[in-house]
Amino acid sequence: MPIQRKTPSYIVEEWILRFVKESGRFPTYREVVIGTGCSTNLVAKAIGIVKALYMSGQPSERGMKELQS
């Protein structure tokens, strides 16, 4: 079995932002886990970060670039 490298949180966050941009809704945990192949702990953290930024009305700079492209 190959050794899996840890995926940085920002990659999962970018995947979530693309999903929101394309579908207009937040993905479920299952959709993110399947879409990114990451552990549920990392996915939960990334979803929490993205939702918190959206709720506060202050998406990150990276998030803004992703939404504008």
Q: Which pLDDT tens digits describe the chain residue by residue (69 residues)? A: 455 556 677 788 888 888 888 988 888 888 888 888 887 788 888 888 888 877 776 655 555 555 555
Give the per-residue pLDDT at 30: 87
Give the per-residue pLDDT at 39: 79
Q: Which of 22, 35, 26, 28 is nearest to 54 (CA)?
A: 26
pTM over 0.75: no
Please check whether residue 29 is in contact with residue 44, taking contact to mean a CB–CB distance below 8 angstroms.
yes
Give the per-residue pLDDT at 1: 46
Q: How far is CA 68 from the centre of its chain?
A: 16
Give the per-residue pLDDT at 45: 84
